[in-house]
Amino acid sequence: MAEVTPIRTAAEVALIERFEGLKNKLPGSGEIARGRDEAFALIAAAGLPNRRVEEWKYTDLRNAVREAAPLAERPADAAALVDKASAFAKADAVRLSFANGHFVAERSDLAALPAGIAVTPLAAALAEGHPLLAEMGKVAVAKGNFALALNSAFMMDGALIRVAAGTAVDKALHLRFVNGGASPFATAPRVVILVEDGASVTVHESHEGVGTAAYQANSVVEIVAGNGTTITHARLNAEQADAIALSTLAVTLGAKAKLTSLGAVTGGSLSRHQVFLAFAGEHSSLTLGGATMLRGRQHADTTLVVDHAVPHCDSRELFKTVIDGEATGVFQGKIIVRPDAQKTDGRMMSAALLLSETATMNNKPELEIFADDVQCAHGATCGQLDEDLLFYLTARGLPRAMAEALLVQAFLGEALELVEDEAVREELVARAEGWLGERA
């Protein structure tokens, strides 16, 4: 096959220039700097993913990203920016705040960390070559992914969190990402959470836009969970309406471990949330959920790759997408069952509710099964509100808008119920109600 040199777009050219100009200023040297170069080499070679790349077929970044925004400096008013955030405020949590991707110590509860939890700002960890950084980037099915590679090349700050063996924390860890500025910027924060054997932890992650300029966010949260760990995770994308927001959750799950993760999406003009999960030990279970609400011309992509590499693990995926206006939803879910992963039980469901005639949903569930003694199923549905149900509700006296809202809430509720923390669940339900209340 002939070698083809791709013609670079203006954004791609700018991205290369930015990396060359920044690489010596980004934190870390030695292995870390080499890692940045390797990650960026992938990006320089392939360019921005576009519709010809299978995994990005429905989310064409080359088309969407016309200009590569400069990497954000630490904002001078970082604390003030964080103070504009409101998400998950009622939940009992230890807060770690990030403004435009930079760790904000003065708005983080470092002094009040529960016993067994240690936090190092990522910029410091990178600069000192923290030994635990060796745990980064271990999820095989995430290797080569554009958003992850871009973050690996540019990661400027974030946090390295260690939850010591056997720790059981009653407070959640709240990763509070706040983005805002007067001119366009890009972010690349990374949070690495090492959960040692037998520990349990609740992680809440919020992403909010509070500024005026459009931005390009690209966050990565990595969780390396040991044996017998329990992790509950809830995530909110309430990014600014004109933001492009990429995000990745990469998880390695040890034996007899349990992870529940729910992602809610209301924000961003274009967003893509990726989950890469590798089962590394037997008898573990995973529950992934999603509740996405889109309107206007929003585009939101949820892409999962669940890698059953070992036997006796269960995975459940339940994703709900409600689409109004001219918005587009994307669900790509892949469950891989490796030859050794006998007795795998995997069930994936993506359901979309289209509230307008111009709404679009792209559903792509995939099973790749190489073992013979497994139970796997997937389903994808796409439909409108049931007119018979609406008649039933309106005939009982509910105005049409209320009847529609009740049915949409019920639709999303099944996913939102996965959130264990009551305050966070109630807030997500309230946000769904608020979203419905804004329907014209």
| Contacting residues toward other proteins, per CB under 8 A | 387-389, 391-400, 402-403, 406-407, 409-411, 413-414
Neighbouring CB atoms inside 10 A of 132's CB total 15
Which CB sits closer to other proteins, 41 or 410?
Answer: 410
End-to-end CA distance of the chain: 54
3-state secondary structure of 414: helix
Tokens of 436: 């419905």
Neighbouring CB atoms inside 10 A of 296's CB total 11
How far is CA 339 from each of CA 29, 141, 307, 310, 336, rounded to the nearest angstrom?
Answer: 39, 16, 11, 9, 10
**Closest approach of other proteins to the CB of residue 275, in Å:** 24
**Closest approach of other proteins to the CB of residue 4, in Å:** 51
Q: Are 304 and 336 in contact (CB under 8 A)?
A: no
**Closest approach of other proteins to the CB of residue 353, in Å:** 12
**Closest approach of other proteins to the CB of residue 265, in Å:** 19
Give 103-121 as a DSSP string: EEGGGS-GGGPPTTEEEEE
**Closest approach of other proteins to the CB of residue 376, in Å:** 24
Which CB sits closer to other proteins, 370 or 391?
Answer: 391
**Closest approach of other proteins to the CB of residue 389, in Å:** 5
Which CB sits closer to other proteins, 112 or 395?
Answer: 395
Which CB sits closer to other proteins, 249 or 408?
Answer: 408
DSSP state of 7: P
**Closest approach of other proteins to the CB of residue 358, in Å:** 22
Distance separating alpha carbons of residues 154 and 283, to the nearest angstrom = 36
Distance separating alpha carbons of residues 189 and 98, to the nearest angstrom = 8
Which CB sits closer to other proteins, 113 or 389?
Answer: 389
Nearest to 320 by CA among 386, 372, 376, 264: 264
List the beta bridge partners of residue 336. Answer: 307, 368
Which CB sits closer to other proteins, 184 or 413?
Answer: 413
**Closest approach of other proteins to the CB of residue 257, in Å:** 29
- Report the C-alpha dihedral over residues 222, 118, 230, 255, rounded to 10 degrees: 70
Q: Are 258 and 284 in contact (CB under 8 A)?
A: yes
Which CB sits closer to other proteins, 60 or 426?
Answer: 426
Total residues found in the chain within this entry: 440
Tokens of 89: 């405020």
Q: Are 185 and 74 in contact (CB under 8 A)?
A: no
Which CB sits closer to other proteins, 65 or 291?
Answer: 291
**Closest approach of other proteins to the CB of residue 397, in Å:** 4
The continuous run of DSSP H or E covering 433 comes out as helix 422-437
Neighbouring CB atoms inside 10 A of 430's CB total 10
Tokens of 363: 């559903």
**Closest approach of other proteins to the CB of residue 330, in Å:** 24
How far is CA 67 from each of CA 18, 142, 324, rounded to the nearest angstrom?
Answer: 12, 26, 28
Which CB sits closer to other proteins, 48 or 429?
Answer: 429
- What lies within 8 Å, CB to CB, of 406 at 6+ separation is 393, 398
Which CB sits closer to other proteins, 377 or 410?
Answer: 410
Distance separating alpha carbons of residues 71 and 122, to the nearest angstrom = 16
Which CB sits closer to other proteins, 265 or 405?
Answer: 405
Which CB sits closer to other proteins, 213 or 393?
Answer: 393
**Closest approach of other proteins to the CB of residue 382, in Å:** 18
One-letter amino acid of 281: G
**Closest approach of other proteins to the CB of residue 199, in Å:** 34
